[in-house]
Structure 1
C-alpha cells in the first residue's frame, strides 16, 4: 500500500479523504504524534502500576488462574483505560472487559466447530459482505484475510443465534476487532460474542434493528436535553438523528472513525458499557456544533459530520471531550431507552 499507514494498517490517505492538501495531512500526522506522546506516558503508568497484568498478558497462553478479571476491580483501571490501553495489552484486556473470557468458559461449543457451522442463508450473506468490508485494507485484499474474517463471522452467527445471529454491519466490527487483536481469530470471536451478548442493547443487530433504533431515539432525547439549540435546528431542517448516527450504533464507530481512534473508544466502551457510545456521539456533535447550526438541510449535516469524523486522528482530544460532557449515568440512558422503546416503529 502506498503512502503512510496507521497502526492497524489502514492508509491514512484512504481513511481521510477530506485531507487532500499537504497542510491538512500534516495536521493529522501531528495530532497522531501528540496522542502517541501522551499515550506513551500512560504506557509507563501501566508498566509501573500494573506489573502483573503486563506479565500475564504477555504470556502466550495465560492460565485460567492468572485471569486479568481480578484486576478489573481496581479503581484506577477506568481512568487508565480512558487514557488508552497499550496495544500490547489490548487483546488481553478487551477479552476480560468484554466478558469474552467468561463467555468462553461457559460455552458448550468451541470456536473451531462454530466456525464450520452456520445456516446456508447466513453464510451466503456473509460471503456477499466480505468483499465490501474494508476492501482497501491489505489484509482483507488477501484470500487469507477474507477467510479469517469469514470464519469469525460464521461463528458469531451460529453462537449468537438467540440474539438474531449474523447481521450486516457486524462484518465491519469483526474486521476491526480482528486487526486490533493481531489477527487472533479465536480471541476476536469471543470478544464479538461478549459484545453481542453483553455490551450492546438487545436486538441491536436483529432483523429489524430495533435495538439500534431505540439507541438513536435515546440519543435524540439526550441531545435535546444537553444541547436544545442543535436539537431544535436539526428538527427544523428535517434531519433525524438516524441520518448520521446509524453507523455509530450499528458499527460501533468502526466504520466512521480512524482505526486508532476507534481503539481508544473501545478501550472505554468495553469496560464502562454503551454509555461511552453516547458520550462519543455528543463529543462529535459538539465539535461540529457551529457548522451544524449553519447547515440548511440534512445532506449538509451528514457531509459535515463525515468530513469531521475521518479526520479525528486526535483521539486524545476526542476522548477528553467525551468525558467532559458531564455526568451520564447508565440509569439515565436506560430511562431514555425505555421511553424510546415504546414509540419505536414496528
Structure 2
C-alpha cells in the first residue's frame, strides 16, 4: 500500500483529495492545523468523515502547523512517504492585504519545512499547490504555464510564486521530482465559507444582498473540486524527469535543469461572474439582490486556464459545467446547514 502525506487535509481541497486517495487504496497521513481562519467545526467534520468512510482505517490525522519545527521531518522519518501533496497554506487574496505575516509563516516557512524533510527522506514525487494568481498582471488569455509570471498583485500570490521558485531550487540541487499545480477558482460541496459561491449562496438563502465586485465585470475559470482532485491523483504518476540534454518539448513547462514542472488545473473555460450568479439563482430558486462594488485591491478581472498540458500528461480534462457544479454545492449547503423555510439560515457557524 502506497503512502501519501496530504497537508491541509481538513481543508476544502485536502478533504476531497484524501477521500479520493482512500477510495483508490492509498494510505493517507493528513496534516492540518485546524486554524480558525474559518469555522473549525467544518474542518473537524471533514476529518471525521475521512476516518469514518470505507478504508477510513487507512487515514491517520495529525493536528499541527506545517511550519512547526521538526513536525514534518518526524512524519517523513516515521512514514517514508511515497508521495507528498502539499496543500496547507494560508489562503485568500483579500485576507493577505491585512494579515501578510500569516502568509509568510504558513506559505513560505511551511513549504521550507516540507522541502527540507523531502531532502532528508525523498519521496517518489512531491506535488505542491500554487495558484492562478501567480500569473498576476498577465493579460494574455488563456494562461499557459510557459508564460512569464513576474508581476503578482497580492502578497498571497507572491508567496505562492515564491514557493514555486523554492521548490525548483530543491529539485535542481537534490534531484527531487516536483510538480507545482496552479489552481483556478475551485468550488463545490464542502467549500470554504470565505469564497464567493459559499457567501453568495448563504446570503441569497437568508434574503440578504450579495457584494458583486468590479460591478460584475469579472470572469473566472471555475473548476469543480472533484475534477481538480482527480487531476491531482493522475498527476501523481506523471513524475517529472530532469532532461539530460536540457531540451524541453514544446509546450511543456518542465525545467531544462531540474525535475520540476508547473501544471494548470482548470476547466479550460472562462465564465462571466453574472452567469455564475445566475446559476446560483437557478439552483436556489431565488433572485439575488446585488450590491455593485468596485474592484478590490489585489484582484484581477479575469482568469482562464490553458489545460492542454494537463491533458497531455494525464489524458484528463476537467469537464463539470458551472450549472451542474453550482447545483451540487447548493444541494450540499442546504443539507449541511439546513436553512429554514423562512429563508433564515440555521447555520452551524
TM-score when normalising by structure 1: 0.26
| Structure that is richer in strand per residue | 2
Structure with greater contact order relative to length (CA < 8 Å, sep ≥ 6): 1
Give the structure with the higher percent helix. 1
Question: TM-score scaled by structure 2?
Answer: 0.25
